[in-house]
A and B are shown apart, each in its own frame.
Chain A
Amino acid sequence: MEKYLDKLPSFVEAIKSMKETIIANIVFIGQIPAPTFKEKRRTDFFMERLAEFQVDECTTDGYRNPIGIIRGNSPSKPPIFVVAHIDTVFESDIDHNYTVKKKTIKGAGILDNSLGVGVLASLPEIFRKLDLCFESDIVLAGVIQSLGRGNLRGIRHLLKTWDTPIRGAICLEGVELGRLNYYSEGMVRCEVECNISSAPGLLQRFRPNAILILNEVINQIMELRLPQRPRSKIIIGKISGGFKHGIIPFYAKLGFEIQSDLDKIVKSIYNDISDIIDDIRHQYEVELKLKTISNLNAASLKYNHPLVKCSGAVIESLGLKPISAPSESELSIFLAHKIPAVTLGITLGENIHLENSMMEIEPMYKGIAQIIGVIMAIDKGVCDE
């Protein structure tokens, strides 16, 4: 194990010498808008790029996830997956042109997840530069329809239809360098929509206020008692509604997530909230709907799993401190399929979901070296035990 750990610091300089190629890939990919469900142009470019870098096989699966396969030396070894989600939270009509400066790159979606996809597209050239060959095939997969309503459909489909064993997997996210995610919580992501039918004339002045109805929903959710163990929480994440200061809104929407280490608790909290919604609907005589837009089951590797230990050692060998936290991403789907997997962050940055999102260039080289270190660890067999 130590042999490849020793090599990692020297990889950082070699990777840095390829900065033009890596940054060009990040910029080219990030400048193509890819809101969830509209990722085709970015997908096509990613595929084209892999083909240009002479990846052995470039294809898309039945769900149009773009995949490149770098053939390994040992056909008997199962493949190693490296994945990054292609989609972003930004719509197509905003400016996607990036600004590159000496130390930073700025632009919409750079951290989530143009950086991840750009690095994924650069890996074939980086392997070549570092003269790296692997026993396993390396499957580079950009996965579509990951975020929000996408509900990780891309990775779900990819793993459902992949019919041979997978040795291990690494999920790439833009930030933060040092993160080491190896477990995901059970989660249900929901929306509550309040719709009040409009009536003409004087009645309009006294009709219920959709925002206040949702306020009542929030108040009652806040009164729910949540267990400390297993850890559980409700995050009220989004709210929208209204037109003008003096007009009573007849439509409002609330978005929230229930998270817990135990799926049973998620289900139980969901049922409680559903009862709250039913009650308020009846009490105020309004149209109030609860919709589930995505869900995940809790899944985890043990802290002492060899992949987790090795990944931590890789991160530390580069002078970084591993930080673990749950991740509701592609990781949970791998873990649900009993495939050892971790999520790694590539660099440091800020304003992750704002249009002026910014990444730091220099830490990225260590971020890439750590990815290679973990691939090498899996290729040496840490997940085979």
Chain B
Amino acid sequence: MNSNWLKKNTFHHSAFKDIDRLVEEKKRKNIKISLCLPTLNEEKTIAKEIIIMKSELMSRFQLLDEIVVIDSGSTDRTMEIASSYGADVYKADDILPKLEKFKGKGENLWKALYITKGDIIVYLDADIKNIHHRFVYALVGPLLLFDNIKYCKGFYDRPIVTGKNKIRPTGGGRVTELVIRPLFSLFFPELTQILQPLSGEYAGYRELFEKIPFPIGYGIETSIILDIYEKWGLDVIAQVDLERRVHRNQDTKSLGKMSFVILKTFCNRLEKIGIAELKKDFFNEMIQYKLGKDEYQPDIYKDKGSERPPIIEIPEYREKFKVPKCTPALERLDMKSAR
């Protein structure tokens, strides 16, 4: 196991606070950076994220070139608010409309690849209550300053808001510790060095994202790590300590659903890579129980495990980004040579 990675590729956000230097490096490399915020009913937090990023990383420093919101169908005022603060707002369903429509975070992130212009894409969850521009510049920093790093993941303390305006200092990360870490330990011990594999804050080069499939739902974070690790190795990955992230608490049942999808994604990847062979297809339903009127009733959550192919395989994308046609075999070669 390459245990040096943790030491070598783990940074603290303060290492990148010289934003002028990042802007210079961005200019020197002649690249564009896009921020994508996937949303579904985030009217309480979306404005603050946009305002702070626009103020700090577009007006004061020209680190970001665009802020794009991709919405899954909010029923609150998320889209109106985001638009009023100057973000480019899209409904996921309106992007690549000829394709079958799905709902999920992974779908939004995948479609953002078609909409955004950046060579680097930064993905941030839109429910961060204590948003700070370090969430972006610290993720972009390693990508700009180290040529070998192509994908950067955030980690942090996770205080969660419980009850009426009270903050619990520790908590969160339950799915990581109970599901992901045991799985990584069993099958990919090197990846246990990634401290918060499920964090929704990461950035990477388009050239990587466009070549990997995107699961539609909760499995997206796990699959991105596994695919990048499989295709390009651990050394293209870095992680940054973002210190503190305050977010909404999720109940155990919701986390159960999340775990179900992640487990499914993980097992599919195991099979695809050839580590395990599944003799039977998975069931697509997560069954939980709730107490109804005098009896327990099943509460069924369905997940088909849909996945978008690498977006580079989509003709509209190839046309928009002028990607020359090449055979899948050549593409695979291309990926291996990047390792």
Name A residues whose Cβ lies closer than 8 Å to a Cβ of B. Answer: 19-21, 23-24, 27-28, 31, 52, 93-95, 97-102, 108, 355
- Of B48, B77, B132, B166, the most chain A CB neighbours within 10 A belong to B48
Select which of B48, B81, B84 is within 8 A of A98 by beta carbon. B48
Cβ A102 vs Cβ B81 within 8 A: yes
A20 to B47: give the CA distance in the assembly, Å.
10
Select which of A20, A31, A99 is within 8 A of B85 by beta carbon. A20
Closest to A99 in B: B44
Closest to B165 in A: A95
Which residues of chain B are within 8 angstroms of A100 by Cβ–Cβ distance? 47-48, 51
Which residues of chain A are within 8 angstroms of B77 by Cβ–Cβ distance? 101-102
Beta-carbon contacts of B92-131 to A below 8 Å, as 1s and 0s?
0000000000000000000000000000000000000110
A180 to B85: give the CA distance in the assembly, Å.
32
Cβ B165 vs Cβ A27 within 8 A: no
User: What are 18 A-B pairs with beta-carbon distances under 8 A?
Assistant: A19-B51, A20-B59, A24-B52, A24-B56, A28-B52, A28-B132, A52-B60, A93-B166, A94-B165, A95-B161, A95-B165, A95-B166, A97-B130, A99-B44, A101-B77, A102-B77, A102-B84, A355-B165
Name B residues whose Cβ lies closer than 8 Å to a Cβ of A. Answer: 43-45, 47-48, 51-52, 54-56, 59-60, 77, 80-81, 84-86, 129-130, 132, 161, 165-167, 246
Which residues of chain A are within 8 angstroms of B52 by Cβ–Cβ distance? 20, 24, 27-28
Q: Give A133 Cβ to nearest chain B Cβ, in Å.
A: 22
Cβ A21 vs Cβ B55 within 8 A: yes
Given A95-B161, A95-B165, A95-B166, A27 and B84 touching (CB < 8 A)?
A: no
Q: Give B135 Cβ to nearest chain A Cβ, in Å.
A: 13
- Of B45, B47, B59, B166, the most chain A CB neighbours within 10 A belong to B47
Closest to B83 in A: A102
Q: Give B166 Cβ to nearest chain A Cβ, in Å.
A: 7
Which residues of chain A are within 8 angstroms of B86 by Cβ–Cβ distance? 20
A65 to B5: give the CA distance in the assembly, Å.
45
For the complex of A and B, the 4 pairs showing the least CB-CB separation, nearest first, are: A24-B55, A20-B55, A100-B47, A95-B165
Given A20-B54, A23-B55, A102-B47, A94 and B166 touching (CB < 8 A)?
A: yes
Cβ B165 vs Cβ A101 within 8 A: no
Which residues of chain A are within 8 angstroms of B56 by Cβ–Cβ distance? 24
Cβ A97 vs Cβ B55 within 8 A: no
A108 to B164: give the CA distance in the assembly, Å.
13
Which residues of chain A are within 8 angstroms of B55 by Cβ–Cβ distance? 20-21, 23-24
Q: Give A184 Cβ to nearest chain B Cβ, in Å.
A: 33
A23 to B129: give the CA distance in the assembly, Å.
15
Select which of B80, B132, B167, B246 is within 8 A of A102 by beta carbon. B80
Which residues of chain B are within 8 angstroms of A31 by Cβ–Cβ distance? 130
Select which of A94, A101, A355 is within 8 A of B81 by beta carbon. A101
Q: Give B132 Cβ to nearest chain A Cβ, in Å.
A: 8
Q: Give B63 Cβ to nearest chain A Cβ, in Å.
A: 14
Q: Give B50 Cβ to nearest chain A Cβ, in Å.
A: 8
Which residues of chain B are within 8 angstroms of A95 by Cβ–Cβ distance? 129, 161, 165-167, 246
- Can you name 7 extra interface pairs (CB under 8 A) apart from A23-B55, A94-B165? A20-B51, A20-B59, A24-B55, A95-B129, A97-B246, A102-B81, A102-B84
Cβ B130 vs Cβ A101 within 8 A: no
A293 to B257: give the CA distance in the assembly, Å.
56
Q: Give B244 Cβ to nearest chain A Cβ, in Å.
A: 11
Which residues of chain B are within 8 angstroms of A19 by Cβ–Cβ distance? 51
A19 to B54: give the CA distance in the assembly, Å.
10
Cβ A27 vs Cβ B129 within 8 A: no
A97 to B159: give the CA distance in the assembly, Å.
12
A99 to B77: give the CA distance in the assembly, Å.
14
Closest to B133 in A: A24
A93 to B167: give the CA distance in the assembly, Å.
8
A21 to B44: give the CA distance in the assembly, Å.
19
Q: Give B293 Cβ to nearest chain A Cβ, in Å.
A: 36
